[in-house]
Chains A and B, each alone.
Chain A
Amino acid sequence: NAGVTQTPKFQVLKTGQSMTLQCAQDMNHEYMSWYRQDPGMGLRLIHYSVGAGITDQGEVPNGYNVSRSTTEDFPLRLLSAAPSQTSVYFCASTLRGPGASYEQYFGPGTRLTVT
């Protein structure tokens, strides 16, 4: 299993540009989520999904869109990039269900810079 994969690893955008961060997992996990990591702020939840076709907002959803058309993929879209979105983005997936402890498996991250 490849686990959780993210592309690209690095990205530089200009203010106002849009882009999609890709996330895929091959563990058949129902639950997927996106976090951003900023110095001194820990990880903050942007959006999450409990299954194909179901998404919900996290703590910091503004400026981001998600969709979940398949179990495997959970892309994060930046509609109009702003310098405040400069961050490291992590995708994670979780195995849910009776007896599962809901530990999350993280991708390697995407480092995004908006100029």
Chain B
Amino acid sequence: AQSVTQLGSHVSVSEGALVLLRCNYSSSVPPYLFWYVQYPNQGLQLLLKYTSAATLVKGINGFEAEFKKSETSFHLTKPSAHMSDAAEYFCAVRARGSGNTPLVFGKGTRLSVIA
């Protein structure tokens, strides 16, 4: 079964500092990978997705993620944190090949940005 592990339930960075949120997946075949963001009292919004094209994926709001097959990782980064980035971030995975397999989410990482 597919699964994702997000390292760190809470990450705190200073405004302007690098943001790094970690995600590792378990799968023998590279899956589809996603990062979602959830602002307080809102639904989930897609940040970016990996579907098998370029391994470095650029998303909205200056975020990007790099797919590393050798490390089974899909870490999310942003060079310079902004106060508006404070939110909860979820990594998710879906197996390839069968459209019937559901999306599996990690437990989330809450990002705090300190002024």
Contact = CB atoms under 8 A, between A and B. Distances in A.
Contact residues on A (Cβ < 8 Å of other chain), bracket: 20 to 34
Contact of B32 (A42, A44, A101, A109): A101
A106 B43 contact: yes
A106 B36 CA distance: 10
Interface stretch (B70-78, B79-87, B98-106): B98-106
A115 B14 CA distance: 40
Contact residues on B (Cβ < 8 Å of other chain), bracket: 20 to 34
Contacts of B22: none
Nearest to B107: A42
Given A31-B99, A101-B32, A42 B106 contact: yes
Contacts of A41: 107
Contact of A103 (B49, B90, B100, B106): B49
Contact of B43 (A31, A50, A90): A90
Interface of A: 31, 33, 35, 40-45, 48, 50, 56, 58, 90, 92, 94, 96-97, 100-109
Given A33-B102, A50-B100, A97-B99, 6 more contacts: A48-B102, A92-B103, A104-B44, A104-B92, A104-B103, A106-B43
